[in-house]
Structures are given as C-alpha cells and as structure tokens.
Amino acid sequence: MLPFSWFVVCFTLLITVYGHDRTVIHFPEAATNQANLSSAHLPSQSRHCIVTPYGWGRDDSSQILAATQKCARNSVITLPAPFVYTISRRMYMKLDNVRLEILGTLSFTPDLLYWIGNSFRVEFQNQSTAWIVEGHDVIVTGGGWRQGGIDGNGQAWMTRAAGHSNQFGRPIALSLYNSSNVLVEDFSIWQPQFWSFMVQDSSNIELRGIYINGTNTDPNGNSSNYETNIDGLDTLRVDNLTAADWLFHGGDDCLAPKGNSTNLTFRNLTCVGGGVAFGSLGQYPDSPDYIHSVWAENITVAQAVSPILGGANVSGGAYFKSWVGVSEGEPPQGGGGGTGSVANVTFTNLTVHNTTNAISINKCYFKVADQANYCDTSTLEFGDLHFEHVQGFVSGDVAIALNCSAAMPCRDIEIRDAFLTSAKNGSTKVTCDNVVNLEGLRCNTTLSR
C-alpha cells in the first residue's frame, strides 16, 4: 500500500513537471488497495483510472474524457477529493460496467457564451446540456452526503435569465441518455446552471442520496424568482426510475416527469422551492405523453420566498399540468394540442408548507396569451390518481384545485386523510371543474379539520 501511494505521488509530481495529462491507470490489486472504495460495487477485473486536476483554472474536461475512454469498460474512474476540476468544455461519456467516483467537485465555468454556443442540444423543448453520460451498469457516486458532485456556477445563469424561463443554451447539469442500470448515489449539485438532472430514453435508473441547492444570491431577485428552471429531475421516455432520499432547494419543479415515463418511485424527498410536477404534458400535437404507474411516499414540499433574494411560489406539492388542446407558437415557449394520459399514480404521506395548493390539476397550461381562450380543450386524460395522508398548510384557502377540461374530464380521483389548513390557520377548500368520480372528498366543499 505504502509503495503504491509513493508511486502515485512521484508519478503525479513527474507529470506535473512535464505537464502531461494526469490520468493514472492501474490494475485490480492496486485499485482495491489504494482507493478505499466501497468494494462491494467494484467491477471485477477492473482497471482503475485516477485523475487529479491541473489547477490554476486550466480545463480538466479533456483529461477526464481521456480517462473515461481508457477506462470505459469494466473499470473504476476516480476523481479524488478534495480537488476541484475546471470544466470549460462539454462532456460526453460512454460507459459500460463502470464505477465513476466524483469525490471532488466538477466546477462548470460560467463562460456563458461558450455554453450557449456549444452545449449538446436536447430534443425536448430545444433545451441544452453540458454533460451526457450514456451507460449500462454504471454507478456514479459523489462518495458521501454533500461531498462530491457538480458546482454549476449557476448564479451567472440565474442573473442573466432574471426570471425568464427556458433561455436558449442554458445547460442541464447532467443528462443520462440511452442508459440502463445506472445508479447515481450520494451526489450533490450546487448552483446548477439549469435543470439539475435529465434522464431520457433509459430504464432501471436510481438517483439516491441527492443534494441539490440552487439558491439565488443576486439582490435584484427582490421577491421575484431568479431560480426559474432550477429543477431537480426531468424525465422523458424512461421506465423504472427511483428517486429517493433527496434534499432539493431550487426555484422550479423538484421532479418533473414528462412524456412516456413509467414505473416511477419517489421516496423520502424534501423539496424546497418546487414540488412534484407531472408535465408539462401535451405540448407536442404529434407525440402523445403517457405517465403510468407512479408511487410517491414521504414527500415534503415547502415554499421559500425571501423578500430580498426571491424564490418561487410553489404551485403544489403534487401538480399535474397539461397544455391546452390548441397549438400556438413553437416550443419551448409555445405548443399545446397534444394528448396522452396520466394514470395509476399514488401519493402516500405528502406534506406541504405554504405551497399555493397541496394538490392541483391544471389542464389550462399555456404560454401564448391567446391560448387562455381554449382552457376546456385539452384531451390529455388524468385519471386513477390516489392520495392518502396529505397534510400541512397552503398559502391561500384552496388546498386542492382540480381544474379539468370539458373535452376530457378527470376521472377516478381518490383523496383520503387530507388535513390541510391555510397559512393563517383557517380552513381550506376543494375546488373542481369537470371531475368525474372523486372519492374520499366532495367537490366544492370546505375540508373538514
């Protein structure tokens, strides 16, 4: 063990002198000795690539990418703590049976023009991403709670956007794409540039022990929401995904499953500044959105608006939103006319602190003003939704708002054991439009306490 450590030190010094890339590769015995990893997850027969940063703000993305190519299969890749790695170029990694240990911090440069011009483009809403992992049997770990991960230097993005949503080129921090059997654990994202995670075209994904904190510190925020688009996770065409043990602070959706997300489990999430939003859905007329089979347990959603720095008014703990049935404008800021369904969703133990509603369905989502004339036109179907043990308080007096469309009413909604007060400790109401078969509560009544 000792000789190996000396080898690393000498080798590191050597390459410092010669300024070559700092990736150190070695083979199984050394890997298990030196790295002190949770060996249960070490791929057998593994290579081990270790990367230390160049320092002085020099870009490390190229040497990290080189390591992910050398150790792309049956390997362990370690970026040790407490190092900070400068990422000034986009990254795409293809990994197969790899444990990627980001024990230090990947600091994505706030070189906005570079990222706007060069981020990878994402099909959905013409969004962008700074880093893509495409992998099978992959573990990405930050090594511990609030230890390794990403610093997105997102303040520059928040200040530039100043509350405007979906600015072109603002990149998602980390996207998992075309992947299966991926576990992201004990991973932190500080000041994400935009959405923290996106998972697309993937299955068997788990994100566990996730800490995300995107907090505006620009005083111009002044009660408005500079943290717009600081989401936790967005999913598109994903089957069998679990998000568990999260602490999220942002100014937009904590989780936002989008079209064709199925078999989702959400467990033990504390979400400050954003709730669990199904959608937005129905934005694309030629591509229906289905979200089926969701289990959500022990979710807490809190609103936090600072008078000085701002923050988001959180629409709901659980919030279902579809665009109107008439398409106007181009995504991301326009759209609508799409269809599909959301079904077999169960929430158990949902707690809210001062959100606008605890549960809401809004089938009148739009961004082009004229679309307000078409609120009753969405044919996207919400049904077979179950909520039990819903508690806490809401900012107004409507705790549950079910605004469905005449074109496709919501059906079979069950809400049991809802104990919800208003912020002033008053009673709250349930409002409904176009709801067929509400069980456990009656429409347009005051919630009993």
DSSP 8-state assignment for residue 441: S
Least Cα distance to 50 among 26, 69, 86 occurs for 26
The verdict on 260 binding ligand NAG (CB under 6 A) reads yes
The verdict on 262 binding ligand NAG (CB under 6 A) reads yes
Least Cα distance to 63 among 30, 15, 109 occurs for 15
Question: Of 66-74, 86-94, 232-240, 357-365, which segment contacts ligand NAG by CB under 6 A?
Answer: 232-240
Three-state DSSP state, 220:
helix
Half-sphere exposure of residue 125: CA atoms within 13 angstroms, side-chain side: 28
Q: Which residues pair with 132 in a beta bridge?
A: 92, 175
Q: Of 52, 300, 362, 428, which lies in the binding site for ligand NAG, with binding defined by CB under 6 A? A: 300
Q: Which is nearer to ligand NAG, 7 or 295 (CB)?
A: 295
**For residue 110, cis peptide bond before it (omega within 30 degrees of 0):** no
Name residue 165's amino acid: S
Q: Name the one residue in this structure whose structure tokens are 């409002």.
A: 431
The verdict on 433 binding ligand NAG (CB under 6 A) reads yes
The verdict on 386 binding ligand NAG (CB under 6 A) reads no
Subset of 172-231 contacting ligand NAG (CB under 6 A): 204, 206, 213, 215
Q: Is 201 a catalytic residue?
A: no
Rounded-to-integer distance, Cα 403 and Cα 383, Å: 13
Which of 137, 252, 289, 384 is flagged as catalytic? 252
Q: Which is nearer to ligand NAG, 99 or 249 (CB)?
A: 249
Binding pattern for the stretch 164-183 against ligand NAG, x by CB under 6 A and - elsewhere: ----x---------------
What does residue 178 show for φ and ψ, rounded to 5 degrees?
A: 55, 45
Question: Of 40-48, 54-62, 294-302, 399-407, which segment contacts ligand NAG by CB under 6 A?
Answer: 294-302
DSSP 8-state assignment for residue 43: P
| Cβ–Cβ under 8 Å, residues 195 and 219 | no
Residues sharing a CB contact under 8 Å with residue 269, sequence separation 6 or more, in sequence order: 243, 244, 245, 246, 248, 254, 255, 276, 298, 299, 300
**For residue 82, cis peptide bond before it (omega within 30 degrees of 0):** yes
Name residue 297's amino acid: E
Q: Which is nearer to ligand NAG, 69 or 445 (CB)?
A: 445
Binding pattern for the stretch 302-321 against ligand NAG, x by CB under 6 A and - elsewhere: -x-x-------x--------
**For residue 332, cis peptide bond before it (omega within 30 degrees of 0):** yes
DSSP 8-state assignment for residue 447: P
Rounded-to-integer distance, Cα 147 and Cα 368, Å: 42
The verdict on 351 binding ligand NAG (CB under 6 A) reads yes
Q: Of 289, 315, 364, 367, which lies in the binding site for ligand NAG, with binding defined by CB under 6 A? A: 289
- Token pair, residue 368, equals 């082009």
Query: Taking the complex as a whole, how short is the minimal distance between the CB of residue 70 and ligand NAG, in angstroms?
Result: 24
Can you list the positions of beta strands (E) in 306-409?
316-323, 340-355, 357-365, 381-394, 398-403
The verdict on 46 binding ligand NAG (CB under 6 A) reads no
What does residue 408 show for φ and ψ, rounded to 5 degrees?
A: -155, 90
Q: Name the one residue in this structure whose structure tokens are 């809802």.
A: 418
Question: Of 84-92, 151-159, 255-263, 408-416, which segment contacts ligand NAG by CB under 6 A?
Answer: 255-263
Question: Of 54-62, 148-156, 233-241, 369-377, which segment contacts ligand NAG by CB under 6 A?
Answer: 233-241
Query: Taking the complex as a whole, how short is the minimal distance between the CB of residue 307 and ligand NAG, in angstroms?
Result: 9
The verdict on 421 binding ligand NAG (CB under 6 A) reads no
Q: Of 53, 110, 259, 336, which lies in the binding site for ligand NAG, with binding defined by CB under 6 A? A: 259
Q: Which is nearer to ligand NAG, 295 or 419 (CB)?
A: 295
Query: Taking the complex as a whole, how short is the minimal distance between the CB of residue 269 and ligand NAG, in angstroms?
Result: 8
Residues 221, 222, 228, CA angle at the centre, nearest 5°? 35
The verdict on 78 binding ligand NAG (CB under 6 A) reads no
Q: Of 134, 151, 234, 245, which lies in the binding site for ligand NAG, with binding defined by CB under 6 A? A: 245
Name residue 14's amino acid: L
Q: Which is nearer to ligand NAG, 67 or 138 (CB)?
A: 138
Query: Taking the complex as a whole, how short is the minimal distance between the CB of residue 83 and ligand NAG, in angstroms?
Result: 14
Residues annotated as part of the active site: 252
Contact positions vs ligand NAG (CB under 6 A): 36, 126, 168, 204, 206, 213, 215, 237, 239-240, 242, 245-247, 249, 259-260, 262-263, 267-268, 270, 272, 287-290, 293, 295, 297-298, 300, 303, 305, 313, 344, 346, 349, 351, 354, 395, 423, 432-433, 443-444
